[in-house]
Structure 1
Amino acid sequence: MHQRKRVSPYLEYTDDGDLVPSPDRKSFHWADYLVFAAFLLAYIGIGAFQAIRNTFATKKENADDFLVGGRSMSILPVSISVLSAFLSAILILGTPAEIYTEGTQYWMYVIGQMFSCIFAALLFVPLLYPLRLTSSYEYLELRFGSRMAKLTGTLILIVMQLLYMGVALYSPATALYAVTGFEEWLNILIGGIVSIIYSALGGMKASVWTSVIQSAIMAAGVLAVIIQGSVDLGGIEHIWKRNEEGGRVEFFNFDPNPLTRHSFWTLVVGGTLGWLGTYGVNQSSVQRFCSVPTIKAARIVVLLNVPGLLFFMTICSLSGMTIFAWYDYVGCDPLKAGYIDNPNQLIPYYVMDRLGYPTVPGIFLACLFAGALSSVSSSLGALAAVTWEDMLKWRFGHLDNTRQMLIIKSLVVIYGAAGIGMAFMCQSLGGTVLQMSLSFTGAATGPLLGLFFLGSCFPMANWIGAVVGGACGLALPLWMSSGAYDLDVFNDQALNSSTFNCTNFTMPTNVTLPPTADEITGLSRLYLVSYLWYSPIGMATVVVVGLIVSLCTGLTDPMEVPAKYHMAIMDRLCCCLPYKTLHVMRCKYDMAHAYDEEEDEEIVVKAKEKEMNDYTYDNVALDNDSTPYYSTINPSTPAEFDESNYAMDENKPATNNGSVIKDDNPDLETFRL
């Protein structure tokens, strides 16, 4: 019998001196468990610290403090929190798996992500931030004058966040099972319970500060893979060369076929629209960029995600290339050899193989859980916020502060338990966690984006169109994504990988392959549409159906809708065009007064801090403590200020050329010149 010398948890030398993988697995060292537990306890400690701090603070914590951090948080930690909330362990596991199995085309997805941040800062931050909302879907009630429109957005958000939490919890669970043998159900429970504890204890502030630590841990874990691979293979240039020789380097596939899973168009166009819904209108994002004190700071929060996305997508893509280059060098693809069960386990397999020293795997698993906990925590905060503001506040808002906080924290626990249940459902689904996440959340993000576009860009749309369009926009892509998972299609374009040096591996014969994509006919071909188109399809469905239903049920008079609820999209994207051209492009509806302001001079200040006659005022908002907030502007077309048209008295509404400006929100009194 040949003698083998083990050189790592998964690799060994034969008596002939060949380095080959072994199917035997090694469990965690006790030091790994200790490190992993220390990180989990640290996250709980941050939540407990915030809870203790709030207990002994002079000003007792209220719903606004818990849900939006008192609207006084710093730019950098909030921006990092937004970034980690939407990337998490799904990125760390899914992106390397995608690059390993399908090549570098997916790297182009970062272009769409960066465009989405820019458009969100230009379009949605100026629309939503001045309204000082806790739930972003309060906008739908203000714009359409209907509680049903708001509840439509809220229910779609709840569906999306529960799906997302399920995938976020499942992703590190499957990775931990691959390298330790721990049952997935136990890992899911650990992640869910820890996130519930520190989210319920510390609220938004605990979520934001743990996200900062978690992002640093995630970056360190992925960089460790790249550094180890560079040392093993002689540098990044050798890693790149092996990927080129393996046919995995491709960036510009311009195939316009919507059935093509990944092309330049699906990744950039589909990615831009999908992530625009995430950064622009998703409750987790809006809740965070509304937690900073000024609209300029809110824009910066979103825009700082551009370099963050580029950094994380780059290192995660390079880690996938590193893993492929190593196993191509070894001569054995662990996925094809059956050493691991699915692509999601590739990166933890590599960590145990090449970085299997005591404490290192524990740190990397803490990296995976850091991402998962960040995503789950942000989702719990978002769900608690929309449920309280949109569904419960009208009924329980009269309760004292202590009881309100008890209800909100109970919502965190309830939704956390529901997210754990969704994670168990994810165990039965195939594919990478990346595709799973983008499929189901993309199906729900699209209709949310469509609702906001319908309301902000089409002043004639009514609430019935919003409700019916929202329901149709959610149903269609969810049906497509569900059907895609049930449809078994053989990928005849799969890239090759080496198995010549694998042990205990025999290529199966006489296997009946499922049909290829070209052999699928009829309605089932809709299931072949790239999952990255689900979000644009949902958005377009909402807008088209919403306008048709509005036309059939009676269009809204655009002049009855305050300009602040509309998005001067052409003014933002085509600001250099002449005024007459812009006036035609916005269907001759005058929105310049609400949006033509210089960004550098737009600030929000307390009324008591500035004298009224020092400014030209656009929006005056009375928040819950009855302190007016003012937004100062510098109009592009100066107008004479007539004090007779301005009313500071709450009982005397302001007028604009004799017309009363009305606002349907009883908590927000708005006066306009």
Structure 2
Amino acid sequence: MTGFGNDSTKPYLQWAQLPAIPDEVGYAGSFAGVSNGALLVAGGSNFGKGGTPWNGGNKTWYDKIFVLEQANGQWKEAGRLPHPLAYGVSCTWQDGVIIAGGSDASRHYSDVLILRYKNGVIETENLPSLPTPIANACGIMIGSKLYIAGGTKEPTATQAEKNFWVLDLALPAAQRSWASPGAWPGAARMLAVAGTQEGAFYLFSGAAIEKQPGDSILHRTFLKDAYKYVPGKSAGWQRIADLPQPVTAAPSPAFTTGQTHLLLFGGDNGNYFDQNAALQQKHPGFSSAVWMYNSITNSWSTIGDVNTEKLADAESNPNASTWAPVTTTTVIWNGNLVLPGGEVRPGTRTNRVLMATPIQPPGGFRLFDWTIVGIYFILVIAISVIVSRNMQRTTSGFFLGGGKIPWWAAGLSIFGSKLSALTFIAIPAKAYATDWVYLLNNVMIVVVAPIVVYFYLPYFRKLKLTSVYEYLNIRFNRQVKWLGSLTFVLFQVSRLGIVIYLPALVLSAVTGIDIFLCIVGTSIITTAYSVSGGIEAVVWTEVMQVGVLLGGALATLFFIANSMNGGFGQLFNEAMQHDKFRLAITDWTITEPVLWVVFVGGFLTQLVTYSSDQVVVQRYLTTSTEKEAKKSIYTNAILVIPASLIFFSVGTALWVYYKHHPAALNPHGRTDDVFPWYISNQLPSGLAGLVIAGLFAATMSTISSSMNSIATVITTDFYQSVKPASTDKQRFVFARWTTVVLGALGCLIAIYMVYLRNASIWDQYIKIIGLFGGCLAGMFVAGIFFPRIHSAGIIIGFIVSAICLYFIQAAGVINFFLYPAAAVLICVLVAYIASVIRPVK
């Protein structure tokens, strides 16, 4: 495998070459894909050695199938197609390569086959034929469905086709048939490029052909329009931003990278098409530009070029040079992009096989930024050490801070525990990718706060609880308490994985350090901090971080606005024009985040958090009086509004910025990377370090508070019940060791989330709250508001609610915002009915 030097102007792809296809000339229009781990290239056409359309060369079609089992191996011929064939559609699916349509010297075909490479030979399977013969079309697999668009029906066609077909291979063989969902609104075309992103089908560029009456010349119009089709959506097709130039016959399909980008390679822009006959061997070749489309900002940019190498004898000996090919298939093989053969100038083929490996460039974190981070962590550790020296070595000191935390500190701590990386990364990412529909979910705490103050808080304070689930023991019995405590532990451990994963994602994006190393390092540091500090150290650290984080986010917002010519005015106007400030979707569906769904779901989500989450409730109990606790709750509720406005504004500002600077965005990144990437690459040195340092310090405080709360519940509700004769010192030591175990468990969950690669981590967090927290909140609602419900009834209600919620999620019949509402409603309703049917004294 031959390596190419990587130019500094295109750091996102590392180009190399695989062994050349074993033909002296090479082929264009070949079928290609991967079967059982091997790279297959089948069929194709050329003009023979030294032949061109201008010197009388005859175009020849081939049926050979070549296989490359390893990147450093050698090609071998493993079989043949049923007949010579080229210029069809080919896609990898499961263990085979689908080939559809195509042409030879005399006709176009409608045959569709699957090629499978097994035990050194090629096996074939027939699929339903296309509705009509077609060649020069484009296509792609999306899940189990094969989509094919455009092309021409016959070699002598005087116009391109506007067909759009789909075949669902998940259906039994007898039920498979081609469907026609309806074509795009633009011109009919051939030699277009297909693509897919998040389940949508994309159609890029291509060429329209026509012959004027009485004219013997076939005219070709090179197109640069593009379209998006979302299966199952009533809108169907929509036109997206035009390409900067045509990419006709570019390698297809487009390369899907990251969660929001598609890359297109070269193509024929038509600049020399009318001069082909005159230029002949002097044709400079096709475009080598790598075009990048961002599906969120709907914008195009270029991120370098296909790596070419034109030698002095390129005109007379083209195969000695490396060119950017067209009329070839893009193949993903072992995570790399492969371009096998193709046409490199009119009439000239290549046997070279280009390969591009996606690489993640390091962020722009500088020495001064590292210095700021170092100083900041020293301050955080100093606070922890100072507070821990004065901490009582008792469970009360470790869990409740001796009840001496002032109300304003407790309120800031509640706010800080919910701020963390989830707010700092996920909310701007969500606003960047969509709009402000989720804002209502955040501000519903203003509605929930009075309910918590007047109905829940008096119970928690009067009963002098350490774990909030002790209330369930008093109201019902010990079994109900254990069920509630176990549910909290499962929910909180899941959350722990998220809040470890997110800052590791930040550090990886900013510094280029491997994300797994970031996760392990963050877990070790935070676990050590959690074990030594106790709740008092957690609270005071969070107090400091709230100001730093809000200040850092606000400074970033002003920096983005000032980087634009029109400042905040431009930012606001462009966002308004594209409906980025949309606050609600006015509809009555239950499957989308419409207004009433977010309102009801947001209310119940906040109620779950502020009435049954030990992390929050534990802070109510660190104050000296109930009056102080009330103030802390209202302090948090008031702070949520400006903080939410700041973070949603940052996300919208990022969308406007990257719409104007699309090339500045990492094409391989996740959506959740967008704010960390901006911090790393656009903020000035020092400010970037301060923002990242504040983020990590607050995140570690959030992780430590979660660990402290879980340890509180496990020690108070389980260990103390199993060992009632244990001393306070023994429980204190047990709590510390529990924290160590929790750190290891959170680390493993965070590593799993790396492989999960969700589009929005915030969506996953809300789903977790609904699945775990909703049933738990239902127990507290039943206990406080429904005296008739007894312990057996609430256990039945909880179990039925959990089972129903599992099937509701699997069926996808409601939006995930409504999970808490469904959980609370089912839990209380079933518990009440069960208690009425079988009343107990």
Q: What does residue 176 of structure 2 align with?
A: none
Q: What does residue 493 of structure 2 align with?
A: 162
Q: For 1:301, give the aligned amino acid.
A: S
Q: What does residue 49 of structure 1 align with?
A: 386
Task: Output aligned runs, 1:43-442, within 5 Å.
Answer: 43-54=380-391, 60-144=392-476, 146-233=477-564, 234-260=566-592, 262-330=593-661, 334=665, 339-355=667-683, 357-429=684-756, 430-442=758-770
Note closer, same or farther for the CA distance 1:478–1:181 as it changes in structure 2 (3 Å cut): farther
Note closer, same or farther for the CA distance 1:46–1:346 as it changes in structure 2 (3 Å cut): same
Return the offset for 1:479.
5.4
Between the aligned partners of 2:672 and 2:777, the Cα distance in structure 1 is 29
Q: Is the aligned partner of 1:549 residue 2:798?
A: no
Local SS of the residue matching 2:584: coil
Return the offset for 1:406.
1.0
Q: State whether residues 465 and 550 of structure 1, in contact with CA within 8 Å, keep that contact through their aligned partners in structure 2.
A: yes
Q: Is the aligned partner of 1:455 residue 2:739?
A: no
Q: What does residue 797 of structure 2 align with?
A: 469
User: What's the CA shift string for 1:133-180, capped at 9, x where partnerless?
Assistant: 001111111111x21100010011001100111111111112222222
Larger CA deviation: 532-541 vs 29-38: 29-38
Q: What does residue 489 of structure 1 align with?
A: none
Q: What does residue 130 of structure 2 align with?
A: none
Note closer, same or farther for the CA distance 1:21–1:157 as it changes in structure 2 (3 Å cut): farther
Local SS of the residue matching 2:466: coil
Q: State whether residues 553 and 650 of structure 2, in contact with CA within 8 Å, keep that contact through their aligned partners in structure 1.
A: yes
Q: What does residue 444 of structure 1 align with?
A: 772
Note closer, same or farther for the CA distance 1:171–1:285 as it changes in structure 2 (3 Å cut): same
User: What's the CA shift string for 1:172-205, capped at 9, x where partnerless?
Assistant: 1122222222111111122222222222112110
Local SS of the residue matching 1:428: helix
Q: For 1:44, give the aligned amino acid.
A: I
Local SS of the residue matching 2:437: helix
Q: What does residue 30 of structure 1 align with?
A: 367
Q: What does residue 25 of structure 2 align with?
A: none
Between the aligned partners of 2:413 and 2:610, the Cα distance in structure 1 is 12
Local SS of the residue matching 2:563: helix
Between the aligned partners of 1:43 and 1:189, the Cα distance in structure 2 is 20
User: What's the CA shift string for 1:620-672, capped at 9, x where partnerless?
Assistant: xxxxxxxxxxxxxxxxxxxxxxxxxxxxxxxxxxxxxxxxxxxxxxxxxxxxx
Note closer, same or farther for the CA distance 1:155–1:479 as it changes in structure 2 (3 Å cut): farther
Q: What does residue 4 of structure 2 align with?
A: none
Q: State whether residues 426 and 761 of structure 2, in contact with CA within 8 Å, keep that contact through their aligned partners in structure 1.
A: yes
Return the offset for 1:475.
4.1
Local SS of the residue matching 1:132: coil
Task: Output aligned runs, 1:584-603, within 5 Å.
Answer: none
Q: State whether residues 424 and 647 of structure 2, in contact with CA within 8 Å, keep that contact through their aligned partners in structure 1.
A: yes
RMSD: 2.4
Q: State whether residues 362 and 509 of structure 2, in contact with CA within 8 Å, keep that contact through their aligned partners in structure 1.
A: no
Return the offset for 1:397.
4.6
Q: Flag the structure with higher strand content.
A: 2
Between the aligned partners of 1:163 and 1:333, the Cα distance in structure 2 is 34
Between the aligned partners of 1:417 and 1:265, the Cα distance in structure 2 is 40
User: What's the CA shift string for 1:501-554, capped at 9, x where partnerless?
Assistant: xxxxxxxxxxxxxxxxxxxxxxx343xx222111111111211222233234x2
User: What's the CA shift string for 1:232-285, capped at 9, x where partnerless?
Assistant: 12332221111112232212322121101x222222221111111111221111
Between the aligned partners of 2:483 and 2:533, the Cα distance in structure 1 is 29
Q: State whether residues 621 and 629 of structure 2, in contact with CA within 8 Å, keep that contact through their aligned partners in structure 1.
A: yes
Q: For 1:390, give the aligned amino acid.
A: D
Count residues in correspondence: 489
Return the offset for 1:332.
5.2
Task: Output aligned runs, 1:475-514, within 5 Å.
Answer: 475-478=803-806, 480-481=808-809, 483=810
Return the offset for 1:457.
1.4
Local SS of the residue matching 1:188: helix
Q: State whether residues 436 and 582 of structure 2, in contact with CA within 8 Å, keep that contact through their aligned partners in structure 1.
A: yes
User: What's the CA shift string for 1:388-418, capped at 9, x where partnerless?
Assistant: 1111113445344433321111111111221
Q: For 1:185, give the aligned amino acid.
A: F
Local SS of the residue matching 1:61: coil
Between the aligned partners of 1:166 and 1:479, the Cα distance in structure 2 is 24
Q: State whether residues 364 and 680 of structure 2, in contact with CA within 8 Å, keep that contact through their aligned partners in structure 1.
A: no
Q: For 1:96, give the aligned amino acid.
A: P
Return the offset for 1:422.
1.4
Q: State whether residues 270 and 532 of structure 1, in contact with CA within 8 Å, keep that contact through their aligned partners in structure 2.
A: yes
Q: Flag the structure with higher helix content.
A: 1
Q: Which runs of 5+ in 1 are unaligned?
A: 7-13, 55-59, 484-523, 558-673
Q: State whether residues 49 and 202 of structure 1, in contact with CA within 8 Å, keep that contact through their aligned partners in structure 2.
A: no
User: What's the CA shift string for 1:351-401, capped at 9, x where partnerless?
Assistant: 22321x333332222233233213211211111111111111134453444
Q: For 2:771, give the aligned amino acid.
A: A
Local SS of the residue matching 1:153: helix
Q: What does residue 54 of structure 2 align with?
A: none
Between the aligned partners of 1:33 and 1:413, the Cα distance in structure 2 is 28
Between the aligned partners of 1:163 and 1:379, the Cα distance in structure 2 is 11
User: What's the CA shift string for 1:474-511, capped at 9, x where partnerless?
Assistant: 34435555x4xxxxxxxxxxxxxxxxxxxxxxxxxxxx
Q: TM-score, normalising length from structure 2?
A: 0.56
Local SS of the residue matching 2:438: helix
Local SS of the residue matching 1:249: coil
Q: State whether residues 195 and 377 of structure 1, in contact with CA within 8 Å, keep that contact through their aligned partners in structure 2.
A: yes
Local SS of the residue matching 2:457: helix
Q: TM-score, normalising length from structure 1?
A: 0.69
Q: State whether residues 412 and 543 of structure 2, in contact with CA within 8 Å, keep that contact through their aligned partners in structure 1.
A: yes
Between the aligned partners of 2:442 and 2:529, the Cα distance in structure 1 is 31
Between the aligned partners of 1:190 and 1:45, the Cα distance in structure 2 is 19
Q: Is the aligned partner of 1:534 residue 2:828?
A: no
Between the aligned partners of 1:422 and 1:81, the Cα distance in structure 2 is 25
User: What's the CA shift string for 1:52-76, capped at 9, x where partnerless?
Assistant: 223xxxxx53211110111121011
Q: State whether residues 191 and 372 of structure 1, in contact with CA within 8 Å, keep that contact through their aligned partners in structure 2.
A: no
